[in-house]
Amino acid sequence: MTSASTLMAELRNLHDVRGYQDLNWEGSFEEYLEIARRNPKVVRSAFQRVYDMIVAQGTEEYKEYKKKIIRYKFFEDPFENGKDGVFGLDLHLMKLVHLFKSAAKRYGAEKRIFLLHGPVGSSKSTIARLLKKGVEHYSRTPEGALYTFKWVKHPSVDAQGIFGAADEIPCPMHEEPLRLIPPEFRSKVVDELTRVAKGEFKIEVEGDLDPSCRFIFNGLLKLYQGDWAKVIDNHIRVKRLILSEKDRVGIGTFQPKDEKNQDSTELTGDINYRKIAEYGSESDPRAFNFDGEFNIANRGIVEFIEVLKLDVAFLYDLLGASQEHKVKPKKFAQTDIDEVILGHTNEPEYRKLQSNEYMEALRDRTVKVDIPYVTRLGEEMKIYQKDFNSEKIQGKHIAPHTIEMAAMWAVLTRLEEPKKANLTLLQKLKLYDGKTLSGYTEDNVKELRKEATREGLDGISPRYIQDKISNALVKDVEGCVNPFMVLNELESGLRHHALIQNEDSRKRMIEMLSVVKDEYEDIVKNEVQRAISSDEEAISRLCANYIDNVKAYTQREKVRNKYTGQDEEPDERLMRSIEEKIDIPESRKDDFRREIMNYIGALAVEGKKFDYKTNERLHKALELKLFEDQKDSIKLTSLVTSVIDKETQEKIDVVKSRLINNYRYCDICATDVLNYVASIFARGDIKGSA
């Protein structure tokens, strides 16, 4: 057992003293100037810092429908091991990052409110949370370092009238220290920093100090009879600024509440009545708390939850904050801010904004970024696999395809019916997921997406799926959680789902559940078929027999019977029984057989040996033929009876072990799926192909 002293020693070693000292650095204004001269990035704007933070995590490029897509690894949440990872929205997130890039280069987007728009549960809040988490983490790194300052008393100077009882006064809005340089002299410093930066990013030090700092600064200037250098040397200490949502430093969050209990001072600060007695006046900025969300979020990011639900009085504050980067605290002049304003809203609220003619100014200052539901099955599955995996779930096994079927249903509810008569909704889902379908090219799939204008804006939310999977997991049922348990939960919940607007929508979603159940049946039949016929030696023997017969047929020869030693005609029945498994018609059999022999001949010229596994169609045909030959000997249908002989049980155990080893079943769900497929055999519902 580890002793308390040993644990304490380990904790001491874990604490990074040097790192703490770096994060809590303090120094003079001159020392800060040297830091800025060596690393001009410390004076970046909030938008520049957010863009650099996103890019710093790395990117990947790929093509979708011949268009280059950039995947930003930042949105995989590298800070908490993927806890808030966002999946399947690469294109939309790329558009968002491009907006940040435009704002970082000061092309105009920095004067806009970034509005994340989409249906409930589409990850708008997650993206906002990731950005806040990211800037917090980035400010703690050497690359993301930024600085602010505080006012301090000097022991030899009587500044009681300015500082009052305080020995030091922090800058309430975490201002950039270079704002202490009078605007008319800043160009000298900016030009030097621009030279060092070599055009990597645009350096500008705009705006004035907040009212509190401006009051102190002017008072000290008067005390020193205009000697700016003495004010800076004697009363300014620059310090490292660490952004923190919990401490309300550089990260703000504003949420609509009851109109009677909320006013706009929550955004821009309010009078501190306790300090009026000390400073003598309501208009003294030292008696004002600059702690509204706009104030404390300066240098960072402010999030407006359901921004369009805000009262009109709050929305007016957003106008100046976005376009002019100024806010108006009560009783004080407009105050400069430098921060990213991020809002999110749903579609009904956005439509209300569009129809409100009195809100033209806000519409004009808003950039909408669509965040729809995911419409790719593989990406939707990742959302649920993040929460429902073997690491997080103990004591319960989720059977293969359970999450896949739930995700498939969710995506189907979000897709629009295809306009092409010969294309089903399930086929459309598979095309979107990157599967190939005869007669459909990338351009066709791109056209399908283009004609479905509302795809991803309607349908079932991931939250609903997560809730129902959770319900299935906590039910006191022995065995594994299988697809039918989850699909039944999904169906039963539809009766009371608040977001389903009419009965037609409910019926359509139930129909989609039937589609998913049919697809699951095909998948498990195929898996059991492959498990039964995965005897490689038997497939190899069958393949060799087939090739011998095809060779004899194409060369008009006879086949030597290994047992009788007699030459016989090629076994047409064997060849057709294999070819029919992959729908080779009688009229095409000669072409197919010649293709096989030409393929084998080409390999021989290159000195290579033919392997049936390299020919996908032939491999599938051989598997299905072997399955057909073996299913009767295994007597899988006997599973639905109470009597199984020893030989059959041994064969079934082999199939079960293959399901466990090859398809991630456990002993319980492998038995369940064999029983399920056996019941299909028993009712004669098996098809000739997978």
CB 48 within 8 A of CB 110: no
CB 627 within 8 A of CB 671: no
Task: Output the six-digit token pair for 102.
Answer: 């435009």
**What is the overall mean pLDDT for the chain?**
88
**DSSP letters for 233-302:** HHHEEEEE---BTTTTBSEEEE----GGG--THHHH-EE-HHHHHHHS-TT-GGGEE--SHHHHTTTSEE
Tell me how far apart the alpha carbons of residues 522 and 483 are, in angstroms, rounded to a whole number: 13
**DSSP letters for 500-515:** --SHHHHHHHHHHHHH
Q: What is the pLDDT of residue 688?
A: 40
395-442 per-position pLDDT tens digit:
789 999 999 999 999 999 999 999 887 899 999 999 999 888 877 888
Best mean pLDDT range from 69-78, 274-283, 654-663, 664-673: 69-78
Task: Output the six-digit token pair for 117.
Answer: 């728009």
Q: Which residues contact 13 (CB under 8 A, 6 or more apart)?
A: none
190-223 per-position pLDDT tens digit:
898 888 888 777 888 999 999 999 999 999 999 9
Query: Over the Cα atoms of the chain, what is R_g?
Result: 35
Q: What is the pLDDT of residue 496?
A: 81
Tell me how far apart the alpha carbons of residues 594 and 590 are, in angstroms, rounded to a whole number: 6
Task: Output the six-digit token pair for 276.
Answer: 């009026």
Q: What is the pLDDT of residue 564?
A: 75
Q: Which residues contact 592 (CB under 8 A, 6 or more apart)?
A: 579, 584
Q: Residues 609-619: what's their mean pLDDT?
A: 79
User: How many C-beta neighbours within 10 Å does residue 599 have?
Assistant: 14
Q: Which residues contact 477 (CB under 8 A, 6 or more apart)?
A: 485
- Pick from 360, 347, 270: which is nearest to 315 by CA? 360
Tell me how far apart the alpha carbons of residues 421 and 413 are, in angstroms, rounded to a whole number: 19
Q: What is the pLDDT of residue 687?
A: 44
Q: Cα 86 from chain centroid? A: 1
**DSSP letters for 412-451:** HHHSPPPSSTT--HHHHHHHHTT---TT--HHHHHHHHHH
Compute CA distances 577 → 139, 539, 573, 631, whole Å.
68, 14, 6, 15
User: How many C-beta neighbours within 10 Å does residue 450 have?
Assistant: 9
DSSP state, 153?
-
Task: Output the six-digit token pair for 107.
Answer: 């092309």
What 334-337 contacts at long range (C-beta under 8 Å, 24+ apart), as own/partner pairs, is 335/173, 335/210, 335/211, 335/268, 335/290, 335/295, 336/206, 336/207, 336/208, 336/210, 337/173, 337/207, 337/294, 337/295, 337/297, 337/298
The residue with tokens 């607007």 is 501
Task: Output the six-digit token pair for 180.
Answer: 């202490």
End-to-end CA distance of the chain: 57
Region of 171 (left: φ > 0; alpha: ψ -120 to 50; beta: rest) is beta
Tell me the pTM: 0.85
CB 255 within 8 A of CB 311: no
652-676 per-position pLDDT tens digit:
888 889 899 988 999 989 988 988 8
Beta bridge partners, 114, equal 342, 367
Compute CA distances 355 → 351, 352, 548, 661, whole Å.
6, 5, 75, 59
510-542 per-position pLDDT tens digit:
999 999 999 999 899 888 877 877 677 888 888
**DSSP letters for 356-396:** -GGGHHHHHTEEEEE------HHHHHHHHHHHSSTTT--S-
Query: Where does the pLDDT of residue 686 fall: very low under 50, low under 70, confident under 90, or very high at 90 and above?
Result: very low
Name the percent of the chain lying above pLDDT 70.
95
Name the percent of the chain lying above pLDDT 90.
53
- Pick from 638, 641, 668, 643: which is nearest to 656 by CA? 668
CB 581 within 8 A of CB 620: yes
- Pick from 249, 340, 245, 337: which is nearest to 48 by CA? 340
Q: Which residues contact 354 (CB under 8 A, 6 or more apart)?
A: 363
Least confident of 117-131, 363-377, 604-618: 604-618
Task: Output the six-digit token pair for 168.
Answer: 């030091």
Least confident of 238-242, 368-372, 532-536, 662-666: 532-536
**Please, what are the domains in the chain?**
23-372 (3.40.50.300)
Q: What is the pLDDT of residue 269?
A: 92
Q: What is the pLDDT of residue 637?
A: 54
Tell me how far apart the alpha carbons of residues 211 and 279 are, in angstroms, rounded to a whole number: 15
Q: What is the pLDDT of residue 470?
A: 93
570-588 per-position pLDDT tens digit:
999 999 998 988 888 999 9
Task: Output the six-digit token pair for 202.
Answer: 């645009």
